[in-house]
Amino acid sequence: MDISRGVLIVGAGISGLTLAIALRLQGIAADVAEIKADVSEQLGVGLSLQGNALAAFGKIGLSQAMLRVAVPGRYLNMRKPDGTLLAHHAIKPMGGAGYPSTAGISRSGLHQILISRAVELGAHLYMGVTLDHYTDQADRITVTLSNGAVKDYDLVVGADGIYSQVRGKIFPEIKPRRLGQLTWRVEVPRCLGTFTSELHFGGEFGVVGICPITEDRSYLYLIEAKTDDIRLAESELPRLMREKLASYTSSVVQDALSHLDACSVITVRPLETVLVPDRWYRGRVIIIGDAAHSGPPVLAQGAAMGVEDAVVLAESLAQTSSVNDAFEAFMARRWSRASMVVNNSVQLCEWEVRHEATPQQVGQLMHESQEILSQPF
């Protein structure tokens, strides 16, 4: 297809930057408008790139760069709050045998790789800029950016996260909903001896986890059932987190807590979900990543789905003869997989909040999800 006017991507998160890279590799011009002035420091500490996310990065030549700064793993330890080992669980290698089952990575480290590769390939990043409005025409879309620039593109992609303003323009009726859980996350030095993710179940909170993200850093998180609005003073968070986890006597949790001090940056946010029904586009505007589908992080697949979306959208644009055909081809490959992740994650989260399911039911649904995610996308 002739995409000579190029693509405007709104949002320089994981999905938007990955799309910019994937498009440039197809020879398609990509501009990225990011509302923040700087995205190099990412809130939320770290995340797990599951095998399918690594395989998706592999399709655009980035998996080795990711693995150089990540902590690969094949297992996770499930423990009681006192540290007693319940299970040493092998994680399914969803990206195939060529990739580790999972890799813990710092969000800032991952972003630095994406930004430098996107710029190296010639994508233009406009920082501190957003999309003001657009006119969708027969053969182009004319956009006005918040810096006053007016430009024609072939299409606009909203990769602007769960509170997407682009989604608000094309699907104003669809809003995220809260799931009744809060997450607390903080980066801590990596405890000697923690080689894998350590998840604690059966205590006061849904899950208390520690995930290594670099050679010497980990991230500690807890998920608690809570529906109230959170109005906590930042300076109080380290003390509150220590108090909340006092009954978790597991040595890895207590070691992590011993490093919390007044300088610790703790992120507390409610878990929410949104799922746009089976067509994520109107005219020449499409949304991807968390803007289109976001669930709680139980399956650790949110970023993975955004990366897959980006790779598939770039392939669809390169392989079809019109924007509409490309969007149809994209949806045919993305809808059932991404909606399955959201629906199963929400189900797992609701079971946990309501204490409704047996460990066997939880294990079965996780297993089924991973089987599907192991299939090519």
Ligand X SMILES: Cc1cc2nc3c(=O)[nH]c(=O)nc-3n(C[C@H](O)[C@H](O)[C@H](O)COP(=O)(O)OP(=O)(O)OC[C@H]3O[C@@H](n4cnc5c(N)ncnc54)[C@H](O)[C@@H]3O)c2cc1C
User: What is the contact surface with ligand X in residues (CB under 6 A)?
Assistant: 10-16, 33-36, 39, 47-48, 53, 130, 159-161, 165, 183, 185, 289-290, 297, 300-304, 306
Smallest distance, Å, CB 42 to ligand X? 8
DSSP 298: G
Smallest distance, Å, CB 188 to ligand X? 16
Nearer CB in complex with ligand X: 20/252: 20
C-alpha distance from residue 160 to each of 10, 184, 369 (Å): 6, 23, 26
Smallest distance, Å, CB 157 to ligand X? 11
Cβ(227)–Cβ(350) below 8 Å: no
The token pair at 55 is 């395989």
Nearer CB in complex with ligand X: 182/252: 182
Smallest distance, Å, CB 259 to ligand X? 20
Say which residues have a Cβ less than 8 Å from residue 34's Cβ, sequence separation at least 6. 11, 12, 16, 125, 126, 127, 128, 129
Say which residues have a Cβ less than 8 Å from residue 329's Cβ, sequence separation at least 6. 316, 319, 320
Instruction: Give me the helices (H) in the chain, please.
Output: 14-25, 51-59, 63-69, 107-120, 165-170, 237-244, 251-258, 302-319, 323-354, 359-373
Nearer CB in complex with ligand X: 82/101: 101
Nearer CB in complex with ligand X: 3/298: 298
Nearer CB in complex with ligand X: 10/220: 10
Smallest distance, Å, CB 304 to ligand X? 4
Nearer CB in complex with ligand X: 23/138: 23
Smallest distance, Å, CB 45 to ligand X? 9
Cβ(55)–Cβ(65) below 8 Å: no
C-alpha distance from residue 260 to each of 240, 320, 330 (Å): 11, 53, 45
Specify the amino acid at residue 110.
L
Nearer CB in complex with ligand X: 112/320: 112
Cβ(179)–Cβ(172) below 8 Å: no
Smallest distance, Å, CB 51 to ligand X? 11
Closest CB to ligand X: residue number? 13
Smallest distance, Å, CB 110 to ligand X? 10
Say which residues have a Cβ less than 8 Å from residue 119's Cβ, sequence separation at least 6. 125
3-state secondary structure (DSSP) of residue 243: helix
Nearer CB in complex with ligand X: 143/303: 303
Nearer CB in complex with ligand X: 196/301: 301
Smallest distance, Å, CB 272 to ligand X? 9
Give dist(CA 288, CA 57) in Å, integer: 16
Using only the alpha carbons of the chain, give its radius of gyration. Answer: 21
What's the angle, vertex CA 213, arms to CA 192 and CA 253, rounded to 5? 50
